[in-house]
A and B are shown apart, each in its own frame.
Chain A
C-alpha cells in the first residue's frame, strides 16, 4: 500500500523538490505551507511520516512536533526535521520535542529516499 508523507515547508520551491523526489520513490505526498497548515492536515488524515522545516510563519517545526506528539494518533508516527538549522542546541531541542531524525538542507534526493525507506519502508 502506498505510504503517505506530510511535507511541511513554507518555501514553495522546497515543497516542489520534496514532492518530486518522494513521488518518484513511490510515496504519496501531502504538502503544507507552515506548521499550522501541517497540523490542520495531520488532523484530517493520519500520515505515515512527517517531514518538517523549522523556521516557518504562524507555527514553527518544533511547535508542530510538540502538537503532534500530544495527539494519541501521532505518538508513534516518525517525524523528521528538514531544515537549514544545523546547530547542536537546536538538534537537542528537536530530539526533546519528539523528532526521530534531523536532516540539514539542501537534501540529496537519493539520500532522502534512503532515509525515508529505512524509516517507513
Chain B
C-alpha cells in the first residue's frame, strides 16, 4: 500500500513538474526570440538614425563654412555634436545587454531541460518501487532515488557555470596585461 502511494507521488511530481517546466521553457524561448528580434530592429533603426544625423551634421557644417569658429551658432553646433556622440556611446552600450540577457536566458533554458530530465528519471526510478513491498525495502529504494537525485542535481549545477555577472547598466572593466 505504502509502495503504491509513494510510486504515485513520485510519478505525479515528475509528470506535473515536467509539464510546468515545459511551459516555462517554451515561454523563455519565445521571450529570447522576441527580445532578439526587437533589439535587432532597434539596432537597425539606431544605425539608420545615426547615419542620417551624421549626414545632416555634415550638411550643416557645409552651410556654416566661413562662419567664425567663435560664433555662438558654431559653439552650439559643437555642443550638439558632443551630445550626439555621448548618446551614441550610451545606445551602443545599452544595445549590448541583449547579448548578456540572451546568455542568461539560454542558461536558464538549459537548467530547465536538465531539471526535466531529472524529473523524468525520478519517475523511472519510482516505477521500480515494489507496490506491495516491505517498509525496509521501500526505504532503501527511496534512499537510492534520493542519492541519484543529488548526483544529477549536482551534475547539472557543475554543467551550468555562470558567465554573466553584470548587475547594472555600466560598461565593463578593462585590464591590460
With a CB–CB cut-off of 8 A, which chain B residues contact A94? 177
**What does the 1/0 interface line of B152-169 toward A look like (CB < 8 Å)?**
000000000001111000
> Residue B92 at the A interface, CB < 8 A?
yes
Interface centre among A17, A20, A85 (most CB of B within 10 A): A17
A12 to chain B, nearest CB (A): 7
Task: Assess A115 versus B172: contact at CB under 8 Å? Given A13-B98, A110-B89.
Answer: no
Q: Is the CB of B43 within 8 A of A106?
A: no
Interface size class of A (residues with CB under 8 A): 20 to 34
- The A contact surface, by secondary structure, is mixed
Interface size of B by Cβ–Cβ distance < 8 Å? Answer: 30
Q: Is the CB of B176 within 8 A of A115?
A: yes
With a CB–CB cut-off of 8 A, which chain B residues contact A111? 171, 174
Residues of chain B having any CB pair with chain A under 8 Å: 36, 39-40, 43, 47, 50, 88-89, 92-100, 102-103, 163-166, 171-177
Other CB < 8 Å A-B pairs besides A13-B39, A106-B166, A106-B172, 8 of them? A16-B47, A17-B96, A84-B103, A99-B177, A101-B174, A101-B177, A102-B177, A103-B174
Residues of chain A having any CB pair with chain B under 8 Å: 11-14, 16-17, 20-21, 54-55, 83-86, 91, 94-95, 99-111, 115
